[in-house]
Structure 1
């Protein structure tokens, strides 16, 4: 133990291109399935852009609100007192959304879609109480550690539980056009790119595990990488290396004892090299951990990536035959240089 308050994932939900609910998505992930398909967006060469999306005809903020409702309802269906999640005296809310540099950030605020979804769900459960305080983290893919630290602070201040929600969609004209111009999408003629996606993921976090047992978040680390995507400053993976070492030190676990790593890398070579270099440096002289990814099944889901990782692990780490190990590492990065690392442990048997 690090001496810092424990964090346990006591309930989880996920709405993504593989399904409206976590159980459906997990089944598809275990089968290594994806739901990539042609979209109404076109590359400069006239080819349809592949995306990872659900077949809904609702767009904008209402679309995100619907994803959040599905993900949070997933959580509510497995906790003993769902109404308590909407009571400010007992709960807090942390919202992870896209970073402010994203072209689409000038449009509808995803955080408002989360608030609207929670209001609808509270009414459905007959809750007539002030809504919990909501903290918004705008770091895109690398918002997870800041969100977990905020959750830890809320629990330390006396809250019984924290609802952490990550929601994002890259399926809009502003983002698609920007990444096409930057040659960062996976389209014919460019293999150094990613498939844009959309998702909402929700976690109920507590200081103690649920009776059914929840995965334990043992260590958190974050740092900044000076290297840039355009290569104007060489990337030496110093940021991710520092973040991993901080997370391992907080968890009081040697990097060589980690049995798996779950990466947010999305197919762009820059992030693949960044992660590989950091892992090689940190794990020098030890056995390399099993390597897991989500983006090859879900596409790049931005700010929902970290919560989606933990949601997936909340299912598979419970099963001795399915889990990749007892202790593992999650690592994430964003375009601004922020790097995250999280050490997790499987529930005690």
Structure 2
């Protein structure tokens, strides 16, 4: 289960004081959102067309929007590399990606850098879907929103391919 909200006075004040809240004066900021999600995990599929997690990668990103460390997307790049290796998939085989990016330019730069570090063969197109476009930054719930969106895309036939990468 994941529940998060950035729509409260304390969070909004914190974001605003750090120039991270999108306003008429700050164009490189995020739009706050809120969501709650539950992911059911089972040894065997419990529904037809259930998603399969083929690889998982974890890493720590030390450079953030809040510090002065050089930004190279080391964390996301390493996590993506580990997930691809565990899944036995190459980056160019990924049809589309779902991400928790939410409006701040450094997050979009991180996506590109992580992709470049892992792409060994070109691919004509690899769209990135980000739910924050529709519902704002949902923080901890963003990952489960990605699972739900991917599941619906495959189930309803609008996914642009057979393999998706979810990251953030």
> What secondary structure sits across from 1:207 in the alignment?
coil
Q: What SS is found at the alignment partner of 2:46? A: coil
Q: Please give the alpha-carbon distance, in whole angstroms, between the structure 1 residues aligned to 2:19 and 2:50.
A: 41
Residue from 291, 295, 315 that aligns with 2:128: 291
Native 8 Å contact 2:91 2:120 kept in 1: no
CA RMSD of aligned residues (A): 1.3
Are the aligned partners of 1:225 and 1:235 in contact in 2 as well (CA < 8 Å)?
Answer: no
Q: Which has the larger radius of gyration?
A: 1
Q: Which residue of 2 aligns with 1:316?
A: 153
Question: What are the superposed Cα offsets for residues 214-261 of structure 1, whole Å, 9 maximum, x if unpaired?
Answer: 011111101112223245110111111100010011111111111111
Asked whether the 8 Å contact 1:169–1:302 carries over to 2, the reply is: yes
**Correspondence for 1:307 among 122, 140, 144:** 144
**d(CA) in 1 for partners of 2:19 and 2:98?**
26
Q: Which has the higher contact order (CA 8 A, sep 6+)?
A: 2
Q: C-alpha displacement at 1:319, in angstroms?
A: 2.8
Alignment deviations for residues 65-99 of structure 1 (CA, whole Å, 9 cap, x no partner): xxxxxxxxxxxxxxxxxxxxxxxxxxxxxxxxxxx
- The corresponding residue for 2:48 is 212
Q: How does 1:180-329 map to 2 (within 5 A)?
A: 180-287=16-123, 288-320=125-157, 322-329=158-165
TM-score calculated relative to the size of structure 2: 0.94
More strand by share: 1
Supply the distance in 2 between the matched residues of 1:226 and 1:211 (Cα, whole angstroms): 39
TM-score by length of 1: 0.46
User: Corresponding residue for 1:13?
Assistant: none
User: Structure 2: 5+ residue runs without aligned partners?
Assistant: none
For residues 284 and 266 of structure 1, the distance between their equivalents in structure 2, rounded to whole angstroms, comes to 27
Q: Is the 8 A contact 1:202 1:311 kept in 2?
A: no
* Number of matched pairs: 167
